[in-house]
Amino acid sequence: MQSDTMKNLFLKSLRSKQVVFTITFVALFVTVMTLVIYEGNKKTVMLSVNGEQEEIRTHASTVSKLLAENEIEVSEYDIVTPSMDTSIKNGLEIRWEQSKEIAITVDEEEQTLWTTKRTVAEVLEEAGVEVTEYDEVSPALTAKLDEQNQITVDKAYEFMLVDGGEEFKHWSTLTTIGDFLEKANIELDELDRVEGNLDSQITPGSVVEIVRVDKETTTVEEEEKFTIETKSDKSLLKGREKIVQQGEKGIVSRDYEIVKENGKEVSRTLIAEKTIKEPKKQIVSVGTKVVVADAGNVSNTTVSRDDSAPTGGKEFYVTATAYTAGCNGCTGITATGINLKANPNLKVIAVDPRVIPLGSKVWVEGYGYAIAGDTGGAIKGNKIDLHMATKAEAYQFGRRQVKIKVMN
């Protein structure tokens, strides 16, 4: 009896366990199936966040719900494609570009910009900031702004570089002359100089001038002028000169230190010299003999056109004018020492000594015999000036073409 009871209890317990197992299995099966169905209903999309892609399975019905589901807050400057209200479908590609506030400083003037661009060049282009190859941009144009939110642009300006006399256009940002020369790899030799202070600021339109200085030594042979020694000669008429000894130039070798700026000589300093040939002085005899005219032989108060021409002598034609010793500024003393004021009736003519030697006795057509005893500033070549006793006679004579004979 007791054995049957134990057997019944065991069977009853076994049935209870089977029921619990069945219930548990069914519940687990339902759960699994529910999960399978739930997961199976999810859609697969590709989400790109700031360039990084991730595959996501979701039950979200729209792009906006998907982003919210992934705790992505979208600002008004962000870019989401496709649009936020787009329905989710399998294989949909969603791109979210997060905007960033960037401060742009151009020549100390600042502006801010919300942008989704990631490189400096893209941000500046979006901001309408034009950049040339000479401008200085920090960070570099190719740099990414993932961790930076500041861009600085120093605009370059044009200035002129005059190097050794040649002009070159350059562009620079705020810099000193010294810094510019260093950056441009412009070397200065020991004697070269820069006009202005190296610490001076280069400004738009300014001129930076480099003077290239060269120093060299050269040797040249130069002529040395001879000296002229004069000696009085009583045998020569006053006003005549005679070279007794011809002068000869000497030769001197001279060493010069020459300084050139931009290729042009600015100074020449004699540093040594050596005489190669001594100069030979020229000796000139100067006449002191004074001609004393014989009033009896050459005086005639009237000028006659009927004087017959003498035989012999050197004959040629000249242009003749007339003058008096009493003219303004005249001393009355001729070049050969004749005092015409004291002897107003003497027949004396002014000549060019290269044509008619002073002291010569001459015959002049229409004037008669005279002495070539004077010179004049306007009496050059075949011209003569006849001395007259009065101004009236001089005016009356005027200017004529006459025949002349030089007798001695």
Phi, psi of 212, rounded to the nearest 5 degrees: -85, 120
318 and 351 inside one domain: yes
Count of structural domains within the chain: 5
Phi, psi of 318, rounded to the nearest 5 degrees: -140, 165
Choose one of 237, 253, 287: the last residue of a domain.
287
Looking at the domain assignment, is residue 20 inside a domain?
no
360 and 295 inside one domain: yes
Choose one of 287, 306, 326: the last residue of a domain.
287
295 and 281 inside one domain: no
Domain of residue 122 covers: 100-154
57 and 124 inside one domain: no
Residues 223/253, Cβ–Cβ less than 8 Å: no
**Taking the chain (408 residues) in consecutive chunks of 10 residues, what is each chunk's mean pLDDT?**
60 62 62 53 85 86 86 86 88 86 90 89 90 89 83 92 93 88 91 92 92 95 93 78 91 95 94 94 84 46 52 90 82 86 91 91 93 91 93 90 91
CA distance 56 to 53: 10
For position 404, what pLDDT does the model report?
A: 95
Cα–Cα distances in angstroms (integers) from residue 171 to residues 62, 157, 187, in the given order:
55, 5, 18
pTM of the model: 0.47
Looking at the domain assignment, is residue 253 inside a domain?
yes
CA distance 210 to 356: 65
For position 302, what pLDDT does the model report?
A: 38
54 and 161 inside one domain: no
How many residues appear in the chain?
408
